[in-house]
Amino acid sequence: METTLLSCPSCGKTNRVPAQASGHPRCGNCKADLPWIVAAGDNDFAAVAEQSAVPVLVDFWAAWCGPCRMVSPVLDKLARECPGKIKLVKVDVDKSPGLSRRFDVQAIPTLMVLIDGKVAARQAGAAPAEVLRSWLDKALAGARS
Ligand SMILES: [Zn+2]
């Protein structure tokens, strides 16, 4: 299973965060909720994203895509701001032709919010940080109502 090393925002301890887990990751030292930022592809998207217990923000990106490089740090920041509430899953379209086809990704970055495995919101193309933030808030609010 793939893991990511992440330092705890509360105590600074480095944690090994799995790509998949029931629930969401917590710090092994202080038990604080940890941000969850992972990668997925054609083979593990179902397990990593669609079966996630917390809402998933999917980022379809590519290494050669300039706008993706602008959006990516914004998404990282949003994920770090709401640990335990969102899981950021990055999909490299060049390595995931199956997912690109299945979700009909025409432009990158394409962002999706998945709640209980279903697409709750979708956004194509780059947007300013405040637009992405309110788009995400709205999608997550829809999930709660
Ligand atoms: Zn901690």
Ligand 1 centroid to residue 80 C-alpha, Å: 14
CATH of 35-144, one of 3.40.50.2000, 3.40.50.150, 3.40.30.10, 3.40.50.1100: 3.40.30.10
What confidence score (pLDDT) does residue 21 get?
Answer: 85
Which two three-digit tokens encode residue 5?
Answer: 């090393």
pLDDT in tens, 58-105: 999 999 999 999 999 999 999 999 899 999 999 999 999 999 999 999
Ligand 1 centroid to residue 36 C-alpha, Å: 14
Q: Is 82 a residue of the active site?
A: no
Ligand 1 centroid to residue 82 C-alpha, Å: 15
pLDDT tier for residue 8 given thresholds of 50, 70 and 90: very high
Ligand 1 centroid to residue 24 C-alpha, Å: 14
The domain spans of the chain are: 35-144
Residues 102 and 89: beta-carbon distance below 8 Å: no
Write down the catalytic residue from 11, 27, 30, 68: 68
Average pLDDT over residues 39-49: 96
